[in-house]
């Protein structure tokens, strides 16, 4: 979507509206999503764009789905998103289009990263599934960096671990992200004989 067609202040206004409807102060909402009042105020005024992790935490604080927060649309028996009708929003480090509907089980979005850009570190309850559609990205999960993920590569991980997505390729990258709302059970760190599973016989 051309830059001129993206309303960069929409998400901030939406957050402010939902906060006001609930009678919450900036400080009250900021405390719920682990932001400072200054950071939240800058997001609402569009002086700063929220990260994906912050959007997910805000949606959960409001008791709405990511689709309701970002698109402001309701879904009936099913949610259909045609390619030509996707709504794109600015977020910190890139652009995002929500693909999931008004159902509480998961959030799905299409993340677009320009060459050299990164999504700020995020962490939230639940699990996350990432699939690279185009381009090349690096994914850092906690202290481990997975480099040169290309089209078709997928990663599934506990979303409460800090994670960062970066476009390290020569072209725009598109990444499908699906996040669940179910808290992830505490899993033991893999020992020398228990490396993360890789489908091609190589440790991630």
73-108 burial by CB neighbour count: b if 16+ within 10 A, else e?
A: eebeeebebeeeeebbbbbbbbbbbbbbbeeeebbb
Burial class (CB in 10 A: 0-12, 13-18, 19+), 9: middle
- Rounded to a whole number, what is the largest CA-CA distance in the chain? 53
* Mean pLDDT value of segment 45-65: 89
Give yes or no for residue 26 having a pLDDT over 90.
yes
Give yes or no for residue 204 having a pLDDT over 60.
no
Give yes or no for residue 53 having a pLDDT over 90.
no
> Mind listing the domains of the chain with CATH numbers?
8-74+86-180 (2.60.120.10)
Tokens of 72: 């402001």
Distance CA 167, CA 175 (A): 10
183-192 tens-digit pLDDT: 555 444 544 4
Tokens of 164: 């960062």
Say what the pLDDT of residue 36 is.
94
Give yes or no for residue 116 having a pLDDT over 80.
yes
87-109 tens-digit pLDDT: 899 898 999 999 988 887 889 99
**pTM (2 decimals)?**
0.73
Question: SS3 of 167, please?
Answer: strand
* Mean pLDDT value of segment 150-177: 96
182 vs 136 pLDDT, higher one: 136
Distance CA 51, CA 122 (A): 7
């Amino acid at each position: 979507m051309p830059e001129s067609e993206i309303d960069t202040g929409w998400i901030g206004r939406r957050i402010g509206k939902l906060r006001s409807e609930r009678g919450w102060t900036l400080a009250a909402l900021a405390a719920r999503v682990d932001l400072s009042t200054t950071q939240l105020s800058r997001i609402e005024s569009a002086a700063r764009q929220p990260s994906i992790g912050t959007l997910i935490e805000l949606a959960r604080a409001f008791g709405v789905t990511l689709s309701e927060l970002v698109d402001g649309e309701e879904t009936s028996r099913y949610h259909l998103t045609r390619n030509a009708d996707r709504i794109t929003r600015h977020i910190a480090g890139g652009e995002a289009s929500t693909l999931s509907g008004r159902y509480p089980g998961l959030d799905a979005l299409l993340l677009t990263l320009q060459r050299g850009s990164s999504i700020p570190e995020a962490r939230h309850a639940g699990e996350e599934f990432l699939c690279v559609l185009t381009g090349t990205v690096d994914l850092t999960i906690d202290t481990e960096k997975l480099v040169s993920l290309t089209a078709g590569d997928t990663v599934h991980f506990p979303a409460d671990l800090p994670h960062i997505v970066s476009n390290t390729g020569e072209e725009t990258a598109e990444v499908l992200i699906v996040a669940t709302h179910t808290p992830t059970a505490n899993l033991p760190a893999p020992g020398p004989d228990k490396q993360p599973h890789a489908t091609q016989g190589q440790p991630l």
